[in-house]
Amino acid sequence: MSQLIHYDEEKKVFHLTNTYVSYIMEIVEDTYLIHRHWGKKLTHYNFSNRPKLKKRTFAATPNVLKPELSLEFLPQEISLPHQGDFRNSAVKIQNQNGQSISRFSYVGYEIHDQAIELQDLPFARSNESFGQTLIIHLYDKIAKITLDLFYTIFEDSPIIVRSTKVINESTQIVKIDKLLSASLDTHYDNQLLTTFYGTHQKEFQMTRSDIQHGLFKIGSTRGASGPQYPPFLALSKDATEFQGEVHALTLLYSGNHEENIERDQYNNLRVQIGINEETFSWTLNPKEAIQSPQALLVYGSQGFNSNSQAFHTFFNNHLINPLWKKRKRPIVINSWEMTYFNVSERLLLEMIDSASSLGFETVVLDDGWFGKRNSSKTSLGDWTIDEEKFPNGIKPLVDYAKEKKIGFGIWFEPEMISPNTDLIAQHPDWVMKSKSYEPILGRNQLFLDLTNKEVQDFIIKTLSDTITSLGVNYIKWDMNRHMTDPFSPTKMENHSIDFSHRYMLGLYHIVNTLTSKHSDVLFENCSSGGGRLDPGMLFYFPQTWISDNTDALDRQQIQYGASYMFPIASMTGHVSEVPNHQTGRKIAFETRAALASSTNMGYEMDIINMSGKERQKVANHLSTYKKERDLIFEGDFYRLSSPNESNMCGWMFVDEKKNNAIIYVFRNIYEVFDLSLLIRIPYLDTEANYLEMNTNTVYSGSELSACGISLENPPGDFIVHKLILEKVTD
């Protein structure tokens, strides 16, 4: 194995590098850590891009003998307030005098031949590939505080993992008011900024814009990563899906976050990501430490597809639980849109029979099975089986499903509590609320206080007992509202400014305990769909229900956007009824099936009362998907045509050796002037020929890449073309 981290003592330069990427920093004046390069692999570095410094009016100079040296325009790896750098800071530490001033200087480094595991947070996992971690030590000798910067690189990935740690080595209490995970400065070169926005049922909508002078910030203060602005930003210049450099950042965290891009008067860019400072503060007693969540810095040299491939590979190899990396995910039939709250023993028995005969692999009993849960207004927290709906309990249904050779799953919303429940009567102090005001309802429910260990233990015991007693193989974990009253009634000294992070630590403790204890159970993440679709949750839950919207038009944009980060096996999608329950649109089964087949696929519709013809369509679809599932889950995924920019949406799956490929092309509104459709198919072997199985026609890989393939454009809206390519070996 070769070293991935190098330090040149003479030049004072750190160089993190592998086959794919180089990340370079310089120690200036034996004090400051300065950013020099993040991007294409360099053989060596000799300061070719180091700017010539000059004295500037208004620039503060820490060394009067070098008036050209100012932190106002040095490209830093970490930024602090009150040092002459008037841009957005990354770390803010308040001393007992109430002053937020620090003076950190470089004092040394360590290199470890492994990734660093975080105790209470998700982290980039080690695997069989070699990895190294650089820890750079900065020290404030006045405050007696150490600031450690962590950088991990693996030999198999173009990703740098960053984190920040503060250690209080003084005898005084200090307060950490800001602790971002990554901050770096680079030169503005007409890059574009890509981010995502969204809402319930319309997640991961793309925005690509110019970068103006000033500070641009997105993030969340909702107590969750949120669909509004997921933790992602990317810089690119002249990049498309297929070419150009892309530099992207994300955060391994599921709570409040912020992403900043600042363009200053000298055309420098500062890029930052981490916990949102508006809802964060942390008291650090003497000898205590706190570490930020990890940030991922993701480089792609061949367009946004290459950047996404880096995300997908890294998430599969270094984030998702290794037990679920290669394990087949079951094709589920979920009860929700079939029954809503009106579930019953009779319906579930019929559902199991239909599911078994059609070829489903797991039946999921969604909301409505517990307490008196006939609407969203009641029973969360009272996780006892509704005996009116299930007079014989649920265990006989699980056993019956097993007799039919299929699994059984069940829905929970463990973080919530309904008013007027037995649980709230027994433990009113378990509800998240302030001392002076009644908490505000959201979706008719309140939050449980996950900073309270008794609440954590209750949730762990409730779910663990249910899993063990029923023998279910699947848990759908939902979370359907955001925080309005971030206070703990048992810890009134804690202001809301630290509660959100403590809540997230409590949540991570709960899900880590449950998923470790019940490692054979598939936990699916959900928050009204993609409300907490983030890399932090992916560490514990190998898949996420990415949207409550199953409409085959809206899902094109949602799945297209989510694929910028998330591998296909981690995104679930269902075939649902028409008219669609969210939009009222009527779209053909073939198109709906193709959209769902482009994910970790399941169904959410009435399979009991279907006609014989409808049953045959579903059975055929399930049979085909099972044959193609390995390619969809384990192959490489590439976007071909954006629904944000045209009337078409296209993507492809291709195996590692480029022997087999599946291409889906969706055309939405019929236009009479479009005589045919044309889609180019790169990412094939350009030296090989391919047989298109539907037409029994042979094309060269170079032809499909350069010329594309012409497809029929029949009248009618919302059609799909599916191409199946096999490499010709004769």
C-alpha to C-alpha distance for 634 and 720, rounded to whole angstroms: 23
The pLDDT of residue 209: 97
Q: What is the mean pLDDT of the chain?
A: 97
Q: Look at residue 591 and give its three-state secondary structure.
A: helix
For 565-619, what is each residue's pLDDT tens digit?
A: 999 999 999 999 999 999 999 999 999 999 999 999 999 999 999 999 999 999 9
Output the pLDDT for position 2: 86
Mean pLDDT of 634-659: 98
- For 605-616, the pLDDT digits (tens) are 999 999 999 999
Residue 497: the pLDDT is: 86
pLDDT tens across 707-717, in order?
Answer: 999 999 999 99
Q: Residue 399's pLDDT is what? A: 98
* Mean pLDDT to the nearest integer, 13-33: 98
> Who's near 53: CB < 8 A, 6+ residues apart?
68, 69, 70, 73, 74
Angstrom distance (rounded) from CA 259 to CA 274: 7
Burial class (CB in 10 A: 0-12, 13-18, 19+), 33: buried
Give mean pLDDT, residues 682-695: 98
Q: pLDDT for 303-359, tens place per residue?
A: 999 999 999 999 999 999 999 998 999 999 999 999 999 999 999 999 999 999 999
Place of tokens 């030590």: 137
**Does the reported pTM lie above 0.85?**
yes
Residues of the chain with CATH 2.60.40.1180: 641-727
- Fold held by 641-727: Immunoglobulin-like (2.60.40)
Query: How far is it, in rounded angstroms, from Cα 487 to Cα 499?
Result: 6
Output phi, psi for 119, to 5 deg: -75, -45
pLDDT tens-digit readout, 85-100: 999 999 999 998 899 9
Residues 6+ apart with CB under 8 A from 97: none
Of 504, 436, 430, whose CA–CA distance to 462 is shortest?
Answer: 430
pLDDT, tens only, 42-57? 999 999 999 999 999 9
How large a percentage of the chain has pLDDT more than 90?
A: 97
The residues that are catalytic are: 478, 548
Degrees to nearest 5, angle at CA 158 with 538 and 568: 35
Rounded to 5 degrees, φ, ψ at 562 are -60, -30
User: Phi and psi for 667 in degrees, rounded to 5?
Assistant: -110, 130
Report whether the peptide linkage leading into residue 391 is cis, meaning its omega lies within 30 degrees of zero.
no
Q: Is the predicted pLDDT of residue 151 greater than 80, yes or no?
A: yes
Is 90:272 a contact under the CB 8 Å cutoff?
Answer: yes
DSSP secondary structure letter of residue 124:
P
Domain 5-319 has CATH 2.70.98.60: yes
Residues of the chain with CATH 2.70.98.60: 5-319
Torsion angle defined by CA atoms of residues 710, 716, 717 and 719, in that order, rounded to the nearest 10 degrees: -50
Q: Give the confidence band of 493 by pLDDT, cuts at 50, 70, 90.
A: low
CATH topology of domain 327-416+471-481+513-634: TIM Barrel (3.20.20)
Query: What pLDDT score was predicted for residue 1?
Result: 66
Residues forming CATH 3.20.20.70 domain(s) in the chain = 327-416+471-481+513-634
Residue 492: partners with Cβ closer than 8 Å, 6 or more residues away: 435
Q: In this predicted structure, what is the pLDDT of residue 326?
A: 87
pLDDT in tens, 658-679: 999 999 999 999 999 999 999 9
